[in-house]
Amino acid sequence: MKTIKIIFCIAIWLVLGWLCLSKLSQGIHDENLISQMPQSTYDEIVDTLTTRNGFQPTEHQIVTYYYERFQK
């Protein structure tokens, strides 16, 4: 029983570590893309999403909209 608990604990920590690393890499990717984006495109996306949602968009929302709209 103790072995099962240890394996379960290790599995939980591995999953949590993987989730943290994936979020971190996503954030780094979003920041890099936004820094390379033309200012006019960035402003247009922020204005569109702010008008649509009623609040300032997150970096990930900006990147997602950029891929959906401008990368077709």
pLDDT band at 18 (very low <50, low <70, confident <90, very high): very high
What is the pLDDT, as a whole number, of residue 66?
92
* Cα dihedral value 38, 44, 49, 55, nearest 10: 90
How far apart, in whole angstroms, are the C-alpha atoms of residue 21 and residue 45? 27
33-70 pLDDT, tens digit per residue, is 899 999 999 999 999 999 998 999 999 999 999 998 87
Query: Does the CA dihedral 65-70-71-72 come out positive or negative?
Result: positive
Q: Which residues of 9-18 are buried (b: 16+ CB within 10 A; e: fewer)?
A: eeeeeeeeee
What is the pLDDT, as a whole number, of residue 72?
61
2-15 pLDDT, tens digit per residue, is 899 999 999 999 99
